[in-house]
Amino acid sequence: KKSVRDVEVSGKRVFVRVDFNVPLENGKITDDTRIRETLPTIQYLSERGARVILASHLGRPKGQVAEELRLTPVAARLSELLGKPVAKADEAIGDAVKAQVAALQDGEVLLLENVRFYAGEEKNDPELAKAFAELADLYVNDAFGAAHRAHASTEGIAHHLPAVSGLLMEKELDVLGKALSNPERPFTAIVGGAKVKDKISVIENLIKIADNIIIGGGLSYTFFKARGLEIGKSLVDNDRLELVQEFERQAKEKGVNFLLPVDVVVGDAFSNDANTNIVPVDQIPADWEAFDIGPKTRELYAETIANSKLVVWNGPMGVFELEPYKQGTLAVAEACAATSGYTVIGGGDSAAAVEKFHLGDKMDHISTGGGASLEFMEGKALPGVVALNDK
Ligand code: 3PG
């Protein structure tokens, strides 16, 4: 795919789709990673005299204006980070926006209002895509985190303008693409999270590529139940007992080392003051619930990670938000931080865990995409990427 580096940008009006969908608490940004990660693209354009028009969604306002989801705090934070003013529009299309764009000087930056205030955004309405396109001469997609959505500002607009990737998009595709198409070996994939349903396609795809697959989190207990073990009150997906057995069969057939927990932390409550116990996986008491991997499993997983040349991690090992159940996810994060292998952290929960444990700067790549990096690992084409111009 063509990138912003392959085109002339000086003096041009450039519509840049970014993913500024950042977490907010009482109007304050609690994690600005996604904003900081787009600075290279914005600076690149601004320094070369482009007139930069930024567009993003924030939250899920469902096609209506929601005051608490305006991008005003984002514009302020971006301005601080860039060290220069960022103009903010109160809308994303229309005459007022056109006037603000027309007033932009070379190198200046304007942030449009939340594109999801318009019903046409998520419907990928051609009219809205055209209205966005009319604001600019060039389209740059730097929103890797939203690339799995075929929306007007991520996909539709690319059909109306020359369309290239931004520097963050390029980096994400490069790292994830290389990891999955030509992995350094041994390649260990870590798949956690609560639900089997959310991880079916990623496990299926990784069985074709990885040397080791490490399983943790709520989805593990379905594997135990499928083996006929007592899992007490633990999370289970009774409709997918055969499917998870099929995963184990396929892994065996392909010579993939498929690692499941050997012990777990069980608790009597989903809370910070729960009573807990450590048991082997074949001794989960009937009235208890498993919430994390146990110490033997932590050791086994850490050893596998230490011996890997490449590690890709998606999904926590337990309920890491709660003190009694954070050790498994912490141990995996520490093992990733310590290994000499290359580490790629899928966005969303795993990235949040790594940040919570302050191990972010010890990882080689933390994806800014949650759903997008998951779909990428599933081997799916991302509509926001497909729509960009080829070389
Ligand atoms: C994300 O946070 O994963 C992206 O910004 C996409 O958001 P969405 O799931 O609301 O489309």
pLDDT in tens, the chain (391 residues): 999 999 999 999 999 999 999 999 999 999 999 999 999 999 999 999 999 999 999 999 999 999 999 999 999 999 999 999 999 999 999 999 999 999 999 999 999 999 999 999 999 999 999 999 999 999 999 999 999 999 999 999 999 999 999 999 999 999 999 999 999 999 999 999 999 999 999 999 999 999 999 999 999 999 999 999 999 999 999 999 999 999 999 999 999 999 999 999 999 999 999 999 999 999 999 999 999 999 999 999 999 999 999 999 999 999 999 999 999 999 999 999 999 999 999 978 999 999 999 999 999 999 999 999 999 999 999 999 999 998 7
Contact by Cβ (8 Å): 133, 15: yes
Task: Looking at the structure, tell me whether residues 117 and 227 fall in a common domain.
Answer: no
* 389 within a domain of the structure (yes/no): no
Contact by Cβ (8 Å): 80, 133: no
Last residue of a domain, one of 170, 198, 221: 170
Question: Six-digit token pair at 235?
Answer: 């999370």
Task: Looking at the structure, tell me whether residues 210 and 239 fall in a common domain.
Answer: yes
E-assigned strands of 144-197? Answer: 163-165, 187-191
- The confidence score (pLDDT) of residue 136 equals 98
- The confidence score (pLDDT) of residue 391 equals 76
Known active-site residue 348: yes
Q: Is 346 in the pocket of ligand 1 (CB under 6 A)?
A: no
Ramachandran quadrant class, 208 (left: phi over 0; alpha: psi -120 to 50; beta: rest): alpha
* 163 within a domain of the structure (yes/no): yes
φ, ψ of residue 74 in degrees (nearest 5): -70, -40
Last residue of a domain, one of 138, 170, 202: 170
Task: Looking at the structure, tell me whether residues 99 and 220 fall in a common domain.
Answer: no
**Rounded to the nearest whole angstrom, what is the distance from the C-alpha of residue 56 to the centroid of ligand 1?**
11
Task: Looking at the structure, tell me whether residues 187 and 82 fall in a common domain.
Answer: no
Task: Looking at the structure, tell me whether residues 151 and 198 fall in a common domain.
Answer: no
Q: What is the three-class DSSP state of 137?
A: coil
CB-based contacts of 63, cutoff 8 Å, min separation 6: 116, 117, 118, 119, 120, 121, 122
| 218 annotated as ligand-binding | no
Domain that holds residue 324: 183-377
Q: Is 146 in the pocket of ligand 1 (CB under 6 A)?
A: yes
* 175 within a domain of the structure (yes/no): no
**Rounded to the nearest whole angstrom, what is the distance from the C-alpha of residue 145 to the centroid of ligand 1?**
6
Point out the catalytic residue in the list 145, 156, 346, 348.
348
Q: Is 186 in the pocket of ligand 1 (CB under 6 A)?
A: no
Task: Looking at the structure, tell me whether residues 131 and 263 fall in a common domain.
Answer: no
* 23 within a domain of the structure (yes/no): yes
Number of domains in the chain: 2
* 177 within a domain of the structure (yes/no): no
**Ligand 1 atom 6: the closest Cα is on which residue?**
146
* 384 within a domain of the structure (yes/no): no
* 214 within a domain of the structure (yes/no): yes
- The confidence score (pLDDT) of residue 231 equals 98
The amino acid at residue 242 is E
Ligand 1 nearest-atom number relative to CA 59: 10
CATH number for position 71: 3.40.50.1260
**Rounded to the nearest whole angstrom, what is the distance from the C-alpha of residue 30 to the centroid of ligand 1?**
16
**Rounded to the nearest whole angstrom, what is the distance from the C-alpha of residue 19 to the centroid of ligand 1?**
8
Which residue is listed with tokens 């860039």? 82
- The confidence score (pLDDT) of residue 347 equals 77
CB-based contacts of 25, cutoff 8 Å, min separation 6: none
Q: Is 371 in the pocket of ligand 1 (CB under 6 A)?
A: yes
| pTM more than 0.90 | yes
Element (H, E) at 313: strand 310-314
Point out the catalytic residue in the list 34, 70, 225, 298.
34
**Ligand 1 atom 7: the closest Cα is on which residue?**
146
Evaluate the omega torsion of the peptide bond into residue 186 and state whether it is cis, within 30 degrees of 0: yes
Task: Looking at the structure, tell me whether residues 113 and 188 fall in a common domain.
Answer: no
**Cβ density class 296-315: b for 16+ within 10 Å, e for less:** ebbebbbebbeebebbbbbb
Task: Looking at the structure, tell me whether residues 249 and 362 fall in a common domain.
Answer: yes
Last residue of a domain, one of 142, 170, 198: 170
Known active-site residue 227: no
Q: Is 116 in the pocket of ligand 1 (CB under 6 A)?
A: no
Task: Looking at the structure, tell me whether residues 347 and 263 fall in a common domain.
Answer: yes
Task: Looking at the structure, tell me whether residues 93 and 131 fall in a common domain.
Answer: yes
Task: Looking at the structure, tell me whether residues 166 and 190 fall in a common domain.
Answer: no
Among 57, 148, 368, 375, name the best residue to mutate to test ligand 1's pocket (greatest count of ligand atoms within 8 A of Cβ): 57
Q: Is 370 in the pocket of ligand 1 (CB under 6 A)?
A: yes
Distance CA 380, CA 376 (A): 5
Task: Looking at the structure, tell me whether residues 246 and 164 fall in a common domain.
Answer: no
* 385 within a domain of the structure (yes/no): no
